Amino acid sequence: MKSKLFTTIMLLVAATLQSFAGNTPKDNPREWAAPVKNGIWLQPASNTQAQPMWGFADGIRISIAPLAGPRGLIQIYTPYLGHRPFEIMNYIAFEPVVDGQRGLSELEFSKLDNTHGKRFWSSNTAEKPLVYKPDYPAQGVIGKENGKETLTVYIFCETFDNGADVYVRVKFTEGKPYEFEVSGYATEKSKKLNRFILTATMGNKARLRTLYLADGKTKVSTELWPEYKDSNFTPHDHTPLSQLIRDKKGGAWYIATPNEADPSKAEHHPSTAPHWKYVGKKATQYWYCPKPSNSLEGIVNGRFTYWASKSPIPGGIAYENFEYTELFRNGQSYVFGITPETPEEFIKRVMK
């Protein structure tokens, strides 16, 4: 009898321990619960450790650390181009300017752990979460605007060294599977902003080299900086509003593409890290400002070598940071997109 009772107790203890083990927090974010499909959307799973990813089930998506990539960046995924899981196509960094001093979300040290990269939080509302819980992200809110479904999530950031305290609202809209709207805000405790720059920081991944401007004009990176061979960034090139493509509603388009027929077939220097080697279909990347001020500019810089390396970029210098900038207006909205259309197809469509 005692032996049987002892066996029963041990089985119960083992089952209990196994139950606890199943709920043990996991350190690897890629082992957290995958995003859940909800109609046309992907959202983080609820009530469990979940990967912080939002967007279209069959279109563009975003995530934040610690899922992938460095901290202080919004990561952008484009699986419709034939990319592998967790293949990042580009990033967006927060770079608010206060008294002429530019904050850098990717490069500044966190005040929470003294490590490179400001920490990002997600929220369903414009209220900054009080506790940093990267493994329990907000799910985002599904709504409806003008008869179209939307998915909205807010991304907050630690206060910058220059005193800027900012956040963005990211909104995906039904029928626009290759783009999302990102609107920038300053909180009440923020120092006064000159500008809040949202910069796409990894143009070298796709080797963007051609900018499409008004009146059929272009700017090509290899022509802007034909002699540049350093491993740092080039000086910035500025394109004023008057030279940007404008649609019939007054919106401004800033469009960039590779100049190669098939970027996936490039031959890389032996020292090139695998994550820089482009795979998948060629694409057109763009910024759109539906209501530009007269101060709006499109800005790029270039690199001859891949970031943090001496490895030369196949085909020569390419654009790296690709951004809009203008005097700060709280809630100003921009659209960032990556479409499989050719630039000619894309421009023809948006100009209708």
DSSP string over 262-276: -GGGPPPPTT--GGG
Do 243 and 154 lie in one domain? The reply is no
Do 253 and 308 lie in one domain? The reply is yes
pLDDT value for 133: 87
Kindly state the tokens that stand for 134.
Answer: 């990267």
pLDDT value for 68: 87
Task: Identify whether the C-beta of residue 287 lies closer than 8 Å to the C-beta of residue 244.
Answer: no
Do 189 and 271 lie in one domain? The reply is no
Task: Identify whether the C-beta of residue 306 lies closer than 8 Å to the C-beta of residue 175.
Answer: no
Do 194 and 210 lie in one domain? The reply is no
d(CA 176, CA 227): 40
**Domain end among 182, 201, 220:** 201
Task: Identify whether the C-beta of residue 338 lies closer than 8 Å to the C-beta of residue 78.
Answer: yes
Tell me the HSE value of 53 on the side-chain side, using a 13 A CA sphere: 28
- 285 lies in some domain: yes
- 23 lies in some domain: no
Do 92 and 229 lie in one domain? The reply is no
Kindly state the tokens that stand for 206.
Answer: 């796709």
Range of the domain at 304: 204-352
Do 210 and 322 lie in one domain? The reply is yes
Tell me the HSE value of 82 on the side-chain side, using a 13 A CA sphere: 9
Do 58 and 152 lie in one domain? The reply is yes
User: SS3 for 119?
Assistant: coil
Q: Which residues lie closer than 8 Å to 163 by C-beta, 6 or more apart? A: 98, 190, 191
- 5 lies in some domain: no
- 296 lies in some domain: yes
pLDDT (tens, 9 = 90+) of the chain, 352 residues, equals 444 444 344 444 443 333 334 456 788 999 999 999 999 999 999 999 999 999 999 999 999 999 988 999 999 999 999 998 899 999 999 999 999 999 999 999 999 899 999 999 999 999 988 888 899 999 999 999 999 999 999 999 999 999 999 999 999 999 999 999 999 999 999 999 999 999 999 999 999 999 999 999 999 999 999 999 999 999 999 999 999 999 999 999 999 999 999 999 999 999 999 999 999 999 999 999 999 999 999 999 999 999 999 999 999 999 999 999 999 999 999 999 999 999 999 999 999 8
pTM above 0.85, yes or no: yes
Kindly state the tokens that stand for 340.
Answer: 């499989």
Classify the phi-psi angles of 315: left when phi > 0, otherwise alpha if psi is within -120 to 50, otherwise beta: left
**Domain end among 152, 181, 201:** 201
Do 196 and 343 lie in one domain? The reply is no
Element (H, E) at 89: strand 88-98
- 12 lies in some domain: no
Kindly state the tokens that stand for 246.
Answer: 């404008």
| Contacts for 20-25: CB closer than 8 Å, 24+ residues apart | 25/49, 25/135
Do 136 and 271 lie in one domain? The reply is no
pLDDT value for 60: 98
d(CA 108, CA 130): 21
**Domain end among 167, 201, 235:** 201
261: Cα separation from own chain's centroid = 25
Kindly state the tokens that stand for 28.
Answer: 């690897």
Number of domains in the chain: 2
Kindly state the tokens that stand for 288.
Answer: 């759109």
Task: Identify whether the C-beta of residue 71 lies closer than 8 Å to the C-beta of residue 115.
Answer: yes
- Name the residue type at position 208: L
Task: Identify whether the C-beta of residue 38 lies closer than 8 Å to the C-beta of residue 53.
Answer: no
Q: Which residues lie closer than 8 Å to 238 by C-beta, 6 or more apart? A: 297, 298, 299
- 14 lies in some domain: no
d(CA 279, CA 282): 9
pLDDT value for 204: 97
- 277 lies in some domain: yes
Bridge partners of residue 258, in order along the sequence: 208
d(CA 137, CA 121): 8
- 10 lies in some domain: no
Kindly state the tokens that stand for 118.
Answer: 């400001």
Do 250 and 169 lie in one domain? The reply is no
Torsional sign, CA 257, 251, 153, 159: positive
Torsional sign, CA 320, 205, 224, 259: negative
Do 142 and 221 lie in one domain? The reply is no
Do 177 and 255 lie in one domain? The reply is no
Q: In degrees rounded to 5, what are phi and psi of residue 346?
A: -65, -50
Q: 10 Å Cβ neighbour count for 20?
A: 9
pLDDT value for 23: 53
